[in-house]
Amino acid sequence: MPVTFIIGTAGSGKSLFTAALSEWLKMSKQDVAVVNLDPGVLKLPYSPDVDVRNYVDVGDLMEKYSLGPNGALILAADLIADQVEKITRDIQEINADMVLVDTPGQMELFAFRASGPYIVEELTKEPKALIYLFDAVFSINPLNYVSNMFLSAAVYNRFFQPQVHLLSKCDLIPTEQVKRIADWSADPRALEDAIDQELEGTKRLFSRNMMRAINQLGLKFLLMPISAKTNQGLTNVNSTLERILTGGEKYTT
């Protein structure tokens, strides 16, 4: 069972994208299971097949250990790791061809604590992929764009799994802007030009050096524009995932 984890900063569109891609896969007759790993979420735009809120209750943790919401979320992340065997069993029972995993709202809870990489490692031994979302509205400014490159490189450095980069919420910005940001991801010179034109002083220097440092790592950030509202780009996402997870075969065997 190939597993795809959806990661991104708070509010970048993880949950709605999970909903849109799972619906899209179902429409194209693929058997998909959806897992919610966010213990703190109140309302989801999809019905999860496996829901981590059935294993840990953030409200109970706050009460029991006199914790604030963030302390309780950190504890929850660690408790989820303890339950990973049970969660894996529940996912396997569904016996889907593809599993989509929506990760916690605050990316650091998943990516920058020990539990996230442990869960990714333990959940399946079969091929897996990470999808990292760049929020289009936030990425219009080259300074923010470079910061997001840095964060996604940091995520890669935690998981070392194939990582697909998507520009989310593209319906919210003009098409020319979408193209411009996608061009930055394909051509470092285009990004460097934008940095030179739009940023000044320390911000320019810092962004340029950070961009160069990330490029030196040899990571590819080719951004695929998508929208979870209009389903733009989901066909491309699906073929990219098929290529990574099944060597080009359909998930269904």
Ligand X SMILES: Nc1nc2c(ncn2[C@@H]2O[C@H](COP(=O)(O)OP(=O)(O)OP(=O)(O)O)[C@@H](O)[C@H]2O)c(=O)[nH]1
When asked if residue 15 is in the footprint of Mg ion (CB under 5 A), the reply is: yes
Q: Does 228 bind ligand X (CB under 6 A)?
A: yes
Stretch that binds ligand X, among 79-87, 120-128, 156-164, 227-235 (CB under 6 A): 227-235
* 172 contributes a contact to ligand X by CB under 6 A: yes
- Residue from 4, 14, 17, 74 in contact with Mg ion (CB under 5 A): 14
Q: What x-and-dash track marks residues 95-134 binding Mg ion by CB under 5 A? A: ----------x-----------------------------
Q: Which is nearer to ligand X, 207 or 227 (CB)?
A: 227
Query: Of 36, 152, 227, 238, which one interacts with ligand X (CB under 6 A)?
Result: 227
Residue 98 beta carbon to ligand X: minimum distance, rounded to whole angstroms: 19
Q: What is the DSSP string of the chain?
A: --EEEEEESTTSSHHHHHHHHHHHHHHTT--EEEEE--TT-S--SS--SEEGGGT--HHHHHHHHT--HHHHHHHHHHHHHHTHHHHHHHHHHH--SEEEEEPPSSHHHHHSSTHHHHHHHHH-SS-EEEEEEEEHHHHTSHHHHHHHHHHHHHHHHHH-S-EEEEEE-GGGS-HHHHHHHHHHHH-HHHHHHHHHHH--HHHHHHHHHHHHHHHHTT----EEE--TTT-TTHHHHHHHHHHHHHTTS-S--
List of residues 6+ apart from 216 with CB closer than 8 A:
none
Residue 165 as a binder of Mg ion (CB under 5 A): the answer is: no
The 4-33 contact track toward ligand X, x by CB under 6 A, reads ----x-xxxxxxx-----------------
Q: Which of ligand X, Mg ion, none lies near 242, with the C-beta cut-off 5 to 8 A by kind? A: none
Closer by beta carbon to ligand X, 132 or else 251: 132
Nearest residue (beta carbon) to ligand X: 105
Interface residue list for ligand X (CB under 6 A) = 8, 10-16, 38, 105, 168-169, 171-172, 227-229
